[in-house]
Structure 1
């Protein structure tokens, strides 16, 4: 009987720790949404500074190439997801949200497989983890760098070639560069002037 009553304290403490974890997660998400998500240029500039610090650290230490290769593969795979449409017409038949395949098809906006904020967050966390890993000599492994370099080049060429063919086939551009922008109706001063 006493053992059952004693377990109530353990359940209450685990419930309290779960509650604190949920509160922390909610507060963290609030600050991400409120202070970081709206400022995309600042976010990316901060990430570029982080990447520069990582590159300089690896260059200065002359090591940690396995971590760098893993980061390259991680960033590359997420870049492919960022450049890919959410609905791929080759893989699945969509009833309404698909890319136009003919000039007469209705325009549908490009929806990414991985949203921009999620892409940024994933890359930033990966470089933070990579930077922390460079502080420990345990992770300084000596790879045969020509094999890793060739693997990275082949991986890049094969995937980008396939992605560019897909973009050409379905005529979409994953960026806003060169896309027509619709601003709506503008009232002109000549139309509103009274007639004599």
Structure 2
């Protein structure tokens, strides 16, 4: 059995070596940024502001902006949803648990973890910024229609998500619930 490196032509070997070197460097930067959630999100917010500034000042790339916003909305919904659907669990629990028996505590597990949410949002923003560098993606469109459609979509989607959260009594955030021990 041959290794994957031996099947690479000699002419491409330096490129593959450089690619692996940059991949390791990229991964080391990601690993170092992991504990700094606030700074990661601030950097992503700065990238989003830079992207929006580019779109507003150039008065173009509204389709790219719309696609970026829809993708971020999709990521947000996956971040807010539980990994396991509570409606299915409620049906199963009604069949198997006797009345009057307390349910065990289960922490909220997200469908999309915070790290993956941040990484996907940052990558999407960088790709969107790169798309604004090409006239190929600057498709003429009447932007107020896209804005109104996105606002309606956002309102309907978030209303449905909030109703789901209220119905199944879960909160995707833990504001100060964690008990801390030690000196004050």
Select 1:87's aligned residue among 84, 89, 107: 84
User: Matched residue of 1:112: which SS?
Assistant: coil
Select 1:106's aligned residue among 104, 111, 117: 104
TM-score, structure 2 normalization: 0.78
> Equivalent residues in 2 for 1:1-196 (5 A)?
11-13=7-9, 24-33=22-31, 35-91=32-88, 104-177=102-175, 180-183=177-180
Structure 2 vs 1, CA of residues 139 and 88 (structure 1 numbering), >3 Å: closer, same or farther? same
Larger radius of gyration: 1
Q: Which structure 2 segments of 5+ residues have no match? A: 94-99
> RMSD across aligned C-alpha pairs, in angstroms?
3.2
Structure 2 vs 1, CA of residues 61 and 23 (structure 1 numbering), >3 Å: closer, same or farther? closer
- Matched positions, count: 171
For 1:146 and 1:79, how far apart are their aligned partners in 2?
23
Q: How far is the alpha carbon of 1:166 from its aligned partner?
A: 1.1
User: Matched residue of 2:7: which SS?
Assistant: helix
Q: How far is the alpha carbon of 1:154 from its aligned partner?
A: 2.4
For 1:23 and 1:105, how far apart are their aligned partners in 2?
51
Decide whether the 8 Å contact of 1:133 with 1:139 is kept in 2.
yes
Q: How far is the alpha carbon of 1:93 from its aligned partner?
A: 7.6
Q: Deviations over 1:132-157 (max 9, x none)?
A: 11112221111132432232122212
Q: Which structure 1 segments of 5+ residues have no match? A: 1-8, 97-101, 188-196
Q: How far is the alpha carbon of 1:77 from its aligned partner?
A: 0.4
For 1:68 and 1:47, how far apart are their aligned partners in 2?
15
